[in-house]
A and B are shown apart, each in its own frame.
Chain A
Amino acid sequence: MRTTSTVSPLSLEGICKSLGGREIVKDLSFELKPGEVFGFLGPNGAGKTTTIRMIAGLIFPTKGRITIMGHDITRERTQAMRHVGAIVENPELYKFLTGRQNLDQSARLIGGIYDDPAHGRQEQGGGDGKVTTLTSPRRGVSKQRIEQVIDIVGLHDRIKDKVSKYSLGMRQRLGIAQALLNRPSLLILDEPTNGLDPSGIRELRELMRKLAYEEGTAVFVSSHLLSEIEMMCDRVAIIDQGRVVAIENVDSIAEQEIPEVLMTISAGMLEATTETLVGIIEACEGVTAVRLNHDLEGAASLTSNNKTPLWRVTVSTSAENIPALIRHLVTEGIDVHGVQQHKITLEEHFLAVTGGVSVG
């Protein structure tokens, strides 16, 4: 694994952007660490794309400062962009060119194409812990590197075809290939799984992990799929109405527990009404609240299991109290059919911090 340098691959300080008199991004600040996969999550119109465009230098912030590897993107644009590989929205490629011609275009924009027979050796010699060993000593892209990125995204068979004949997934792969050409320190991916099939998504996820952990690339990825962010990212910034509402470690969100237990119970031998059941549970020590789960019509959720009606109840209590709760119910003559500890998902967290606006 590459030793992480101290320079942040991407930092935003107090970024504001107004377009047509409307403030789209308000005082955005965050910083990426080298080698981390950073998710960027927010509902439509939250300012995700605007932020990504500002980072990529396509639009200019009204206020604030963006630096990439320590280079201010407005004042040292060229130096900053040398470290960036990006897909902004859909990978728009030249449809009238072949896959390889598209890569050649990108390579010339990076600084030119040259031949480097020592390419493979250089690749293996990258273990001495310096960032520079992985950055080619000269500007531009070697022919061997172009072949390598074609290999990475698995487009060898179709690279001579025109992009107009590619499927959306293949275009996405080619987009990723051109973003990887310059071995970026910061990889910006805007909705990268669009159009990829499940195996493609898994490959992409593995590739991102590999780049982050083995090459120390910081990956900045936006997605509207929460589950995806949950699987791919180390940290996530949640943005709503142009503001960052939370930046959290994805693992720590997943580990958060809500002190709630979802129980499926039946009255068993007892002739009990709903009220008496709730009363029995509430009587247990450590239970702070009991809630009957309702179905869509608002009736108590009852399912028939061999003539026995089943109740679903949400019991507010701490995790340590679960065994005591079960013992209490059993001694009271209530049958416990299922106990499920309620863990918070990123989605619930997301809905909580954005105030319930749905994600799209």
Chain B
Amino acid sequence: MAEFFGLCTNEAVKLWCKRRFLITIALAVCLSVLISWAMYHESNNNRQMNNPQTQIQNLQDGVQSETASLSNSHLTAASKQQIQQSIQQMKQQIAVLQAQVAHPQDGMAALTASIQNERQQLASAVTDPSTRSSLELELALNEYRQAHHLSLDQSGTQTSWGAIKNYMDGALTLLLPLLIVVLTADIVSGESSDGTIKLLLVRPQSRARILLAKYITVLWASAIVVLTALLTVGIFSALVYGFKGASDPIAVGVHFIQTKQITDGIVSYMPIPDLAHMSILPQWLFTLDAAALCWVACAVVATITFLLSVLFRSVSATMGVAIGLLIAGTIVVGISAGGGTSKWIVPLFFTHLNLVESWTGQLSRTVPTTFGLSLIVLGAWILVSIGVAWRVFTRKDILA
């Protein structure tokens, strides 16, 4: 065991001294800051657009320009009437918004009102299953808020937790996997191309042990890269959005069932949420679990890259094939997803890389899968990759 720890130490020393690890970490930090900044910029824009003051200003501008157009003498009486109607509507909206600004609604009162409204609607004859499920989901979240004495925030401002979740959704299918590929690609192929693999294999260590030490190194290094990326986003978000919203509810385990619908003679598929296995978590707990899922997804990418690194003797071939797979995967999923009928993409690993969305259930909107199925598929990929890598590495002739 102490001997095996020595092998892991060797790998850690090499990883560190080769600078590849540091470069990957630096890349993770820089790109995460860039993405966080873009998200912050976007949420600022949205908030400005939704601000009542801005809306009032926009509506007043509209009233002015419409009034000006009334003076045009070529207008027919009918169109004049139309314009006057729209002016009237805008003025009413301005009045409503001004009332809101003057007497801001209390969050708790809004929550109670919202729950009442949802219950009423559910009790009434809402028959559309899609609308019903959405209402039930909304009600469940609101009841959770009520039980935990949380108010309903209607301002639509971003929270740190929401920002981290957005980042995970965006980065988990491509950015983080690419970083993992950069980190992992040379772990075996680098030794093959430099000829240093001979140093490793003429020593009293079995090839399987050498390989295992390398694999363990790849796993913990991937964990550090993922953690660094998420912490970067977390720290950035905490600085710009603050810490509120940690106990806000989020639903996981919603499963969308594709239902055939025929409207006006056109057949379409409609994802209808099934809440049977749904559970509601506070945001902070969700974020921790989701971070672990990010690592699992990256471990899958690391394992497959690791296999490629065993198969190819050059680092660039390993990296090229791995990156090619990821990008092609993104395209394939993009083309095939939707409609939820493309069953053939289910066994592919890149379909399930967004494990966080698979967990919440959003993935089942576009791909016919469940969280359990995603875990099984990814687990199978890991086992097969390890098996093939082990078999090839312990038997191949080292000719480099």
Chain A residues in the interface with B (C-beta under 8 A): 19, 53, 56-60, 77-82, 84, 86, 88-90, 92-97, 101, 104-106, 108-113, 139-140, 178
Q: Which of B10, B17, B201 contacts A57 (CB 8 A)?
A: B201
Choose one: B2, B13, B194; the contact of A112 (CB below 8 Å). Answer: B2
Q: Does B198 contact A (CB under 8 A)?
A: yes
Contact with A108, one of B6, B19, B202, B398 (Cβ below 8 angstroms):
B6
Q: Is the CB of A58 within 8 A of B198?
A: yes
Could you say which of A58, A84, A97 contacts B13, with CB atoms under 8 Å apart?
A97
A90 — nearest CB in chain B belongs to which residue? Answer: B195
Q: Which residues of B contact A (CB under 8 A)?
A: 2-3, 6-7, 9-10, 13-14, 17-19, 194-196, 198-206, 395, 397-399
Which of B196, B202, B205 meets A56, CB within 8 Å?
Answer: B202
Q: Which single member of B194, B204, B398 contacts A111 (CB below 8 Å)? A: B204
- Docked Cα-Cα span, A109 to B191, in Å, equals 15
Given A78-B205, A80-B204, 8 more pairs with CB closer than 8 A: A53-B399, A60-B395, A92-B195, A94-B17, A104-B13, A105-B14, A109-B200, A110-B203
Q: A58-B397, A78-B206, A79-B204 are in contact. Are A108 and B199 (CB under 8 A)?
A: no
Q: Please, which residues of chain A bring their CB within 8 A of the CB of B195?
A: 89-90, 92
Chain A CB within 10 Å, residue with most, of B198, B395, B399: B198
Which residues from B are CB-within-8-Å of A90? 195
Which A residues are CB-close (under 8 A) to B395?
Answer: 60
Point out the residues of chain B lying under 8 angstroms from A178, CB to CB: 199
Asked if B13 and A105 sit within 8 Å, CB to CB, the answer is: yes
A109 to B3, CA, bound (A): 8
Q: How far is the CB of A281 from chain B (nearest CB, A)?
A: 57
Let me know if B201 and A111 touch, CB within 8 A.
no
Cα–Cα, bound, A352→B118 (Å): 101
| Complex Cα gap A128–B10 (Å) | 37
Closest partner residue, chain A, to B14 (CB atom): A94
List residues of chain B with CB within 8 A of the CB of A79.
204
For A84, list chain B residues within 8 Å (CB): 202
Q: How far is the CA of A105 from the CA of B213 in the complex (A)?
A: 13
Please determine whether B198 and A109 come into contact, CB atoms closer than 8 angstroms. Answer: no
User: CA separation between A88 and B202, bound complex, in Å?
Assistant: 9
Q: Which residues of B contact A86 (CB under 8 A)?
A: 202
With A59-B397, A105-B13, A112-B6 known as contacts, the answer to whether A93 contacts B199 (CB < 8 A) is yes
Contact B14 A97 (CB under 8 A): yes
| A56 engages B17 (CB within 8 Å) | no
Question: Which of these, B6, B17, B198, B200, contacts A97 with CB under 8 Å?
Answer: B17
Tell me whether B9 and A56 are in contact (CB under 8 A). Answer: no
> In the bound complex, do residue A105 and residue B194 qualify as a contact, i.e. CB atoms below 8 Å apart?
no
Which residues does chain A contribute within 8 Å of B10, judged by CB atoms? 105, 108-109
Q: How many A-B residue pairs have CB under 8 A?
A: 92
Shortest Cβ-Cβ A-B pairs, 7 listed: A92-B195, A108-B6, A59-B397, A109-B203, A58-B398, A81-B204, A82-B204
Taking a contact as CB atoms under 8 Å apart, the answer to whether B194 and A92 are in contact is yes
Assembly CA distance A139 to B204 (angstroms): 10
CA distance A82 to B202 in the complex (A): 9
Q: Which residue of B lies closest to A80 (CB)?
A: B204
Contact A58 B205 (CB under 8 A): no
Residues of chain B lying within 8 A (CB to CB) of residue A111: 3, 6, 204
Residue from B3, B13, B201 within 8 A of A139 (CB atoms) = B3
The reply to whether B196 and A93 form a contact with Cβ atoms under 8 Å apart is: yes
State the Cβ distance, B127 to closest chain A Cβ, in Å.
Answer: 69
Determine the distance from Cα of A228 to Cα of B14 in the docked complex, in whole angstroms.
36
Tell me the nearest residue of chain B to A79, going by C-beta: B204
B397 touches A101 (CB 8 A): no
A-B contacts, 7 of them at CB < 8 A, read A53-B397, A57-B202, A58-B202, A58-B398, A86-B202, A89-B195, A111-B6
Q: Which residues on A sit within 8 Å (CB–CB) of B194?
A: 92, 94-95
A24 to B10, CA, bound (A): 35
User: B398 — which chain A residues lie within 8 A by C-beta?
Assistant: 53, 58-59
Complex Cα gap A60–B397 (Å): 6
Q: Of all chain B residues, which has the CB nearest A190?
A: B198
A354 to chain B, nearest CB (A): 25
| Distance A93 CA – B198 CA, assembled complex (angstroms) | 9
Residues of A within 8 A of B9 (CB): 108
Query: Residues of B contacting A94 with CB < 8 Å?
Result: 14, 17, 194, 196, 199
**Residues of chain B lying within 8 A (CB to CB) of residue A113:** 6
Task: Return B219 CB to nearest CB of chain A, in Å.
Answer: 20
CA distance A178 to B200 in the complex (A): 12
Please give, as numbers and ranges, the residues of chain B lying within 8 Å of A140 by CB-CB distance.
Answer: 3
Are B202 and A101 in contact, with the CB atoms below 8 A?
no
B210 (CB) vs chain A CBs: closest residue: A109
Question: Please, which residues of chain A bring their CB within 8 A of the CB of B6?
Answer: 108-109, 111-113
Q: Contact at A58–B204, with CB atoms within 8 Å?
A: no
- Report B-chain residues with C-beta under 8 Å of the C-beta of A95: 194
In the complex, the answer to whether B199 meets A106 with C-beta atoms within 8 Å is yes
Question: From residue A316, how far is it (CB to closest CB) to chain B in Å?
Answer: 49
Residues of A within 8 A of B198 (CB): 56, 58, 88-89, 92
In the complex, chain A residues whose CB is within 8 Å of the CB of B7: 108-109
Contacts of A104 in B (CB 8 A): 13
Q: Which residues of B contact A110 (CB under 8 A)?
A: 203-204
B209's nearest neighbour on chain A, judged by CB, is A78
Distance (Å) between the CB of B121 and the closest chain A CB?
Answer: 66
> A139 to chain B: which residues have CB within 8 Å?
3
Collect the chain B residues with CB atoms within 8 Å of residue A89's CB. 195, 198
Q: Which residues of A contact B196 (CB under 8 A)?
A: 92-94
| Chain A, Cβ-Cβ closest to B8 | A108
Say yes or no: A96 contacts B17, CB within 8 Å.
yes
Cα distance A89–B196 when bound, in Å?
11
**Beta-carbon nearest neighbor of A53 in chain B:** B398
Q: Which residue of chain A has its CB nearest to the CB of B18?
A: A96
Q: A96 vs B199: C-alpha distance in the bound complex, in angstroms? A: 15
Asked if A106 meets B3 with Cβ closer than 8 Å, knowing A59-B397, A92-B198, A96-B18, the reply is no
Contact across chains for B204 and A105 when beta carbons are under 8 A apart: no
Q: How far apart are the CA atoms of A79 and B399 in the complex, in Å?
A: 23
* Chain A residues within 8 Å of B204, by CB: 77-82, 109-111
Of A58, A89, A90, A111, chain B has the most CB atoms within 10 Å of the CB of A58
